[in-house]
Structure 1
């Protein structure tokens, strides 16, 4: 079996990617892998502190440029303290979001800052996932689901449906840019069907 690899889940808010990332973590543990399930922003003590700045509060709290810097700082801490040590130890890291979210949210949907995002990523992160699942679903359905959670981390959902539509288009464009690692999964199916599609891809990839 492969050891020490990195899988990420991406998608619009409320798409079900968090649930699917947890299901995959359980599956890979059943396969005998040592799995770290983590998230962004967050995944380390310092990054979790920054998370609260990013996902709570008024929708207009930060400019897109400031968000890019905050996300990059959180991701660097996450990479140093969680992701890199786990992969070096032969573990599987499954992350609910990574750099692709910044490419889409701040680099495309909020502002046309993709070149800035890419430059900072190359300079400070320099790591791509081995495999990425983009859970794609109807933006209106996803937004309704996301707001219904009332998690207190609704800052991006509060930007409205038009923003979620832009996000969906951005993630689909991203999948076309990185076809070797990105797999688009229809999130409008039942959770079990979504999980089954993901399992098929992972089993083929592992073999």
Structure 2
């Protein structure tokens, strides 16, 4: 692989399986000889992880614009400290959520001005080479979350209408940017979804993956 790295993001609603698939893809990319960095949003740095804890705390309330600015503050730190240096070093970066999540959650879900979100995204100055959007019917997503157990975070406590708007937002993003984004059916078995994602990485980016 060239010294310039590759930036891959996984997107989707709650319960779509992003974290599971990132771990599986990272293992297969490493087996093929790539240096791989896995990270997440909000998060990735101590400051961004602190913001994540605030945003997910069900006891807290933020106005939609405040919510948006918090996630971009975390993202600015994350990109500067973690993502950009890894790409410059030649790594494959696998990130659980990025700006598309902000567009889907805060833009489509909470009604924040989408043009403002796009402007903030441009200021960050990092665009994924490939975005894999895991698409899951709301009923299956809620069943997975219930099976997972534990206390629901702030976003998981939002109503069904919010989850539907977010899912529709991700589908709109995929339709608007087909060169970068691929909508993937995440309702199947874990291994089947991994094979689909690995095939897309090979076909779209030309990366070897075990």
TM bin (shorter chain): over 0.9
4+ residue runs of structure 1 moved beyond 3 angstroms?
Answer: 150-153
Q: Which residues in structure 2 correspond to 1:1-207 (within 5 Å)?
A: 1-2=1-2, 4-58=5-59, 61-123=61-123, 125-152=124-151, 154-207=153-206
For residue 143 of structure 1, report the CA deviation from its aligned partner: 2.2
Q: Is the 8 A contact 2:138 2:163 kept in 1?
A: yes
Q: For 1:84 and 1:45, how far apart are their aligned partners in 2?
A: 16
- Structure 1 gaps of 5+ residues are none
Following the alignment from structure 1 to structure 2, what is the Cα–Cα distance between the partners of residues 116 and 22?
Answer: 32
Cα contact 1:24–1:195 (8 A) shared by 2: yes
Q: Give the TM-score, by structure 1 length.
A: 0.94
Name the Cα RMSD after superposition: 1.4
Query: Shift of the alpha carbon at 1:18?
Result: 1.3
Task: Tell me if the contact between 2:65 and 2:112 (Cα under 8 Å) persists in the aligned partners.
Answer: no
- Alpha-carbon distance between aligned partners in 1 of 2:38 and 2:57, rounded to the nearest angstrom: 22
Partner SS for 2:93: strand
Of 104-113 and 184-193, more deviation after overlay is shown by: 104-113
Aligned residues: 205
Normalized against structure 2, the TM-score is what?
Answer: 0.93
Cα distance in 2 for partners of 1:47, 1:151 equals: 23
Give, in angstroms, the shift of residue 203 of structure 1.
1.3
Q: Secondary structure at the match of 2:188?
A: coil
With over 3 angstroms needed to count, the CA separation of the structure-2 counterparts of 1:92 and 1:72, relative to structure 1, is same
1:34-82: CA deviations, max 9, x gaps?
Answer: 1000000001111001100111123x71111001100000000000110
Within 2, Cα distance between the matches of 1:98 and 1:153?
21
Task: Decide whether aligned partners of structure 1 residues 99 and 153 sit closer, same or farther in structure 2, where only a CA change above 3 A counts.
Answer: farther
Q: Distance in 1 between matches of 2:155 and 2:113?
A: 17
Decide whether the 8 Å contact of 1:107 with 1:115 is kept in 2: no
